Chain A
Amino acid sequence: MSLIYFEEKCTACGQCLDVCPFGVLSLEGDTLIIGEGCTLCGACVEACEFGALEVPEGAGEKVRPEIPPDGVWVFAEQRHGRLAPVGAELLGEARRLAADLRAPVAAVLLGHGVAGLAPELIAQGADTVYVVDHPRLAEFVEESYAVALAALAKEYQPEIILAGATYLGRAFIPRVATLLGTGLTADCTAFAIDADRRLLLQTRPAFGGNIMATIVTPYTFPQMATVRPRVMKAMAPDAGRSGQVIEARVEALEAAGRTHFVQTLSELTETAPLGEAEVIVAGGRGLKDGKHFALLQELAEALGGVVGATRGAVDAGWIPYSQQIGQTGKTVAPKLYIACGISGAAQHLVGIQSSDFIVAINTDPQAPIFEVADVGIVGDLFEVVPALIREIKSGR
């Protein structure tokens, strides 16, 4: 399959050349040459104002099966009897999608001894809660969770399945999709329903967030997606809602399995790896005392992030060197970087310049950090940070 080029519409402006992430486009005189590396990503199609490029439709006759009856499913992630917040976020979104589809919403609860969580899920928007209770589901293992969800889906036929794009969700959902013979879109940040085609429009970032793509699963069911946590909005829990609980049995779980949980080695109460963090709350000398890192820790937890520090804070003994960010510490590239009481010495800026979004809070309006911050607050972090924490916790 290759990119479709309408030479007669092409003005050889070269816009598409600049935009191709793979560098496979070139101009020979006034004609576009499409090189071997084209992956049909469509970035050039978007960039061409003359409509001279098109991504081909998949060839062959594809018939979409009948719409399955069971509506929108949400995988209700839990661990040791505690529901992960993303489940409620997805139920909130599922209700909105289900309204457009006029379909029901169900939550899927996998675990051992967790049926007691069902009422909470109903209050968060589920019409049905499917519970699979089995010792093999007590701890998370890709194999058993995938077998269980796939078996349920085959039995009860959802139209859509959503799961949180947590480490857990992203570990097993791909296996479910493959077992069900359907497409899967990862890390979605927005959904909509194409009413004409009754398709779930799944929007997600790609190229490290440098472009957005909207994706559909047009010929198979269920349409599956993992969803970025902390983006969708949970509905306010309504204890008055009613729903049913279906306790399902998955025969395949009786077999031994080829992957076994042994033990949990450590809980991430200790500071998480800085290099992997998507949200970093960092502190510098402006904190005035090491004990104030506790405030930053609170903000970090509210955002699902980790705490970092400048060399100044590390040198002062307030926080270990492992959390130092900067030329001689770590270089980080989080989605969100919040600099509290950091002036922004050049070496620190070197360490954070690849952050997607930088927030700076400092009492000194001349602080160099404001030159790179997307949002700057000249103020007292001891007032702003608590206010921000309250804002976040107040239910968005």
Chain B
Amino acid sequence: MNIIVCIKQVPETQEVRLDPVTHTLKREGVKSIINPFDLYALEEGLRVREARGGRVTVLTMGPPQAESALREALTYGADQAVLLSDKAFAGADTWATSLTLARGIAKLGGADLVFCGKQAIDGDTAQVGPEVATFLDIPYVSWARRLEFAADGLLRVERLLDHGYDLLEVDLPALITVVKEINEPRVPSFKAKLKAKSAPIPVYGAADLDLDPATVGLTGSYTQVVKVFPPPARGQRERLSGTPEEMAARLWQRMQAAVQR
């Protein structure tokens, strides 16, 4: 099986905190990590390879420093890694990102299965997986917590929805986005770490992917950020007093404001 796992290098957003006085982002010492959900996607890809043979390719679109995320992915046992990088890709929204990734997948000759983590912890959109699948014109299933190959070659997918879990069947090739319940990612292997250190990682730019620069990156994005601002201040610590009804009303007010962030 030809398996491709899309990953993203993200800042460790738990550590990206607001300065309580200036209300600006403090990012001192924030390191770059592989998006945690992508590790689950990678693990699932590796397990499918172990069960059914094939190879796992890790793919990312990002600036040159994203190479370190690909190298880290190799330490878990991926067979090869490919970086899609070009100044033209910068500032991409999910449309432009997905278009670029889909072209990258096509350049690699397509795949039987594409795995993505459910969402990236910086963008939090959960859009790229489905959009990549649509550009590739392949079916996809979101929020997968278990995969099983049926005798007839169909893939059976258990997935999470708001009401509970549904079981779907999907034709291959397909794209799957995974939730953390799906597996427990393995630890890296030392042999893979040694290999990863010097593994060649090809870099494809817009020209390599036959992409008109106007259709990717900031220029190719259909959405634009017009403003970035701090969330409503966390607010003062408050001790409530009064009757239970009064306190409940004030509390509900504060809670609703909090949920908006």
Contact = CB atoms under 8 A, between A and B. Distances in A.
A touches B (Cβ under 8 A): yes
Q: What secondary structure prevails in chain B residues at the interface with A?
A: mixed
B168 to A, nearest CB: 6
B24 A47 contact: yes
Contacts of A391: 245, 248-249, 251-252
Interface in B4-26: 11, 13-14, 16-19, 24-26
Contacts of A206: 122-124
Contacts of A195: none
A134 to B, nearest CB: 17
Contacts of B259: 228, 230-231, 279, 335-336, 357
Interface string A362-387: 00000000100111111110011011
Contacts of A383: 244
A175 B261 contact: no
B214 A1 contact: no
A23 B228 contact: no
Interface residues of A, number: 114
B127 A174 contact: yes
A319 B222 CA distance: 48
A215 B224 contact: yes
A396 to B, nearest CB: 7
Interface in B118-150: 121-127, 129-131, 133-135, 138-143
Nearest to B240: A377
B163 A264 contact: yes
Interface stretch (A66-74, A137-145, A309-317): A137-145
A336 B25 contact: no
A1 B90 contact: yes
A259 B222 contact: no
B230 interface: yes
Interface residues of B, number: 100
A279 B169 CA distance: 31
B239 interface: yes
A177 to B, nearest CB: 7
A1 B14 CA distance: 29
A375 B16 contact: no
Contact of B25 (A18, A84, A377, A378): A18
A288 B142 CA distance: 41
B225 A42 contact: yes
Contacts of A56: 218
Contact of B126 (A170, A185, A374): A170
Nearest to A231: B260
A265 B11 contact: no
Contacts of B261: 189, 205, 209, 212, 335, 356
Given A186-B125, A374-B235, A375-B238, A213 B228 contact: yes
Interface string A162-175: 00001110111011
Nearest to A256: B171
Contacts of B161: 140, 167-168, 171
A265 B166 contact: yes
B218 A40 contact: yes
Contacts of A39: 63, 90-91
B158 interface: yes
A127 B235 CA distance: 39
B131 to A, nearest CB: 5
Given A142-B140, A384-B244, A387-B245, A46 B252 contact: no
Interface string A302-340: 000000000000000000000000000000010110000
Nearest to A40: B91
Interface stretch (A103-111, A217-225, A243-251): A217-225
Interface string B32-75: 10000000000000000000000000000011110000000000
B254 interface: yes
Given A142-B142, A265-B166, A374-B237, A211 B25 contact: yes
A233 to B, nearest CB: 10
B221 A183 contact: yes
Given A59-B219, A174-B130, A387-B247, A140 B166 contact: yes
Contacts of B218: 1, 40, 56, 58
A391 B251 CA distance: 9
Given A217-B222, A259-B139, A376-B239, A41 B228 contact: yes
A47 to B, nearest CB: 5
Interface stretch (A88-96, A234-242, A268-276): A268-276
Contacts of A376: 237-240
B141 A259 contact: yes
Contacts of A210: 13, 16-18, 25, 231
Contacts of B122: 21, 206-208
B195 interface: no
Contacts of B62: 37
B244 A379 contact: yes
A187 B124 contact: yes
B52 to A, nearest CB: 20
Contact of A18 (B26, B98, B139, B140): B26
**What 9 A-B pairs are tightest by C-beta distance, nearest first?**
A183-B222, A40-B91, A357-B258, A387-B248, A183-B223, A174-B130, A186-B125, A208-B13, A178-B134
Interface of A: 1-2, 15, 18-23, 36-43, 45-47, 55-56, 58-60, 79, 84, 139-143, 146, 166-168, 170-172, 174-175, 177-179, 181-187, 189-190, 201, 205-220, 228, 230-231, 257-268, 273, 275-276, 279, 333, 335-336, 354, 356-357, 359, 370, 373-380, 383-384, 386-388, 390-392, 396
Given A185-B223, A212-B231, A263-B166, 16 more contacts: A2-B90, A15-B24, A37-B65, A207-B25, A207-B121, A207-B124, A208-B14, A208-B16, A212-B229, A228-B260, A259-B174, A265-B165, A265-B167, A275-B180, A359-B254, A377-B240
10 contacts: A20-B27, A21-B16, A43-B25, A184-B94, A184-B223, A207-B122, A214-B227, A217-B224, A357-B254, A374-B258
